[in-house]
A and B are shown apart, each in its own frame.
Chain A
């Protein structure tokens, strides 16, 4: 006969079950989030910095909002349309109030623009989006914004500026940091900020859009990736961003946690110097004598691209957290051209191309890049150097801290010219408009017109320039986008840059939480929702 008693095992199970009950969420309606960095200020107009901007969208709204793939959607403006070649008319949303109860009108927009363009001590101001525009109030809920020349991107620019109550037009950055002025119209109200420690937000019950589900949100900056993952596993936080590649398998295989991934718009690329002026010390013949850059020849540039095994980098260096790239935009994102594919690895063809370009015997090359700025940046460069050496380009790698790299990258050479022959860097489109990377990297450098500030290799194609400029002055948005895709096709086939990959952004949460994610690798708290 078998006795029926509780064995130690059963007791343990019961105890664990009990603990599980105790360890559950304290309240289904509070959320704790760990972010990798924290904003430099709670003033939405203080610094044009990704983390500041994503935090600002929690408390404030812009006239135009961006969805997770940076498509424009109505915000404090219910609609907008061009009324002539130089003027956009914005129809504002009626019945919206700020967190302090003040009604939102066109006057608040005027006050916001005044303040945002002139914040004292701003390390990177929003004036870029405001200068050259004239704002006219038609009535309380109608606003006209005109520019001197036709400009199709006024709505994009307006999506970058958080609207504040006109009562705070003279408020200082400190007033926003301590909460004295931080009354927006956004989904959350600002509760408090202890720098380095915690940011607290509460739900805005009167939000004009879909109200968020959480009563209160606590945001903790945890810079170290492993600590962040540990905080999630231990149940200290409910949601984290940027899972370290090494921790990803652990989190994915663990019960009670879910991981979210999406291909981000953060591109890693190489730029190849393509003029013979000046001759730089980083390309030499086998005896070490500097020679003119071989990358003046498009075939040598193509050889570099074909030599790179992007899939191997994704699998072995990035732990699966990158997607091979053939252009600025990932698929499904603004400005994406369906005509372009990432180059397949083809060292044979690469060697042939080098020979055709007259470099069959190879040459010596030093490639440069930042260390610790992008995910695995140094290891990627080392992998690429090996791949280039295999097609006959004897390649050395030199990396340095980002603070040193960017100065040399943009003006470390003679006469403040870019210093490097081949360098790797990163780019993510923050503006949500497709001509952005073309204007910065592809257009011939024309400083006074704002074209080509990131064009460091001397690429110049008049046809591409014309397409970019035409698109940027066409009020017909669809026409403009076609011009940009055409320009992208030409520039990428001429290897104006060599795209490597798009990073894959990651988030993780305890079960029962969903996250709406897209091509942006920053975190938007109001997109975190409890699962139904």
Chain B
């Protein structure tokens, strides 16, 4: 096991290095940050000053070397726009995105799982047709449009929920989150639901497929024959068996929720990572873009590793490569 983890960590470092090289050289091909930063009314020497201060006058390979040396000591450079360390800026925005992604995950499981199991138990029921139809909609409607519709219905017409922003936050168990205040929760509902819709649809489909498959297996028939209550069959025998694939997929999906909440964050003016990155891309804030992409790569590497380890722990039949050596 230890050998497996070590080998995976080594691989991850190589992947990160290659990614940083690709990202860094690609982003240096696009435009010139100086054009986006320096006010056109400035004196000509101002442009040279900014280029010098930000190290843009150096050849790309020198810039990359500096970046790499900095990265090894935990410094991914300063944002051109904000003049502050890229990592600090991201750390500032991360809690908002994390709370949005976590809420979306919770919503998608609590809503998607029961609906999916129901659809699997009654494959021909009317309810199932509605649920499955809804899940097709959930997968195919663009998040952007749906977000605006939710704002119009729930905020403008009905006036139940605030349109945008994060609302009041408070601290609980050392975590600052808007999920701990009523005002914060009201702000959280719409964006979290918006972000969750696609995942709800996915969980429904996974749960339904799993249920149909497992319900046909011998041990369920045996349980029925033994006269167990249907509730007990579902909760004690069905659930644990369909949960393994769902947990696996959701583990990775949690990464996409964090990394690609950008659209939802933009519509709802949620002060998270996504908004920071969009602004950085538009304004060619290279250090932020590079730091963000490396963060996303790291996130997926870690999630993959965790999922693999969990797999081995949950299911002894899964053999990890490292064990064979």
Contact = CB atoms under 8 A, between A and B. Distances in A.
Interface of A: 23, 40-41, 46-49, 120-125, 127-128, 131, 173-174, 194-198, 220-224, 226-227, 230-231, 233-236, 401-404, 406-407, 410, 430-431, 436, 440, 447-448, 450, 453-454
Interface in B14-37: 30-33, 35-37
B41 A128 contact: yes
Given A223-B275, A227-B267, A236 B44 contact: no
7 contacts: A47-B37, A124-B39, A124-B42, A124-B50, A127-B49, A222-B164, A450-B43
Contacts of A234: 155-156, 159, 162-163
Interface of B: 30-33, 35-44, 46, 49-50, 53-54, 78, 80-84, 89, 92-93, 96, 148, 151-152, 155-156, 159, 162-166, 266-269, 271-272, 275-276, 282-284
B164 A196 contact: no
Contacts of A407: 31-32, 35
Contact of A236 (B31, B42, B82, B163): B163
Most buried by B among A47, A236, A410, A453: A236
Contact of A197 (B151, B165, B267): B165
Contact of B42 (A128, A223, A226): A128
A123 B267 contact: no
Nearest to B154: A234
A450 B284 CA distance: 26
A196 B271 contact: yes
Given A234-B156, A403-B31, A40 B148 contact: no
Given A198-B165, A236-B155, A123 B83 contact: yes
Contact of A431 (B41, B43, B166, B267): B41
B53 A121 contact: yes
Given A46-B83, A403-B36, 7 more contacts: A23-B159, A41-B82, A122-B83, A196-B272, A230-B152, A231-B164, A447-B44
A449 to B, nearest CB: 9
A453 B41 CA distance: 9
Contacts of B80: 123
Contacts, number: 142
A48 B35 contact: no
A378 B288 CA distance: 28
Contacts of B156: 230, 233-234
Contact of B81 (A40, A128, A222, A431): A40
A196 B41 CA distance: 27
B92 A127 contact: no
Nearest to A406: B35
Contacts of A174: 84
Contacts of A196: 93, 96, 271-272, 275-276
A403 B89 CA distance: 22
A224 B276 CA distance: 14
Contacts of B32: 406-407
A502 B159 CA distance: 37
Nearest to B265: A196
A399 B255 CA distance: 34
Given A196-B275, A221-B269, A234-B159, A123 B43 contact: no
A227 B41 contact: no
Contacts of B284: 403
A454 B40 contact: yes
Closest 4 CB pairs of A and B: A196-B271, A403-B31, A121-B83, A406-B35
A127 B43 contact: yes
B65 to A, nearest CB: 21
Contact of B46 (A128, A231, A402): A128
A220 B163 CA distance: 12
B42 A235 contact: no
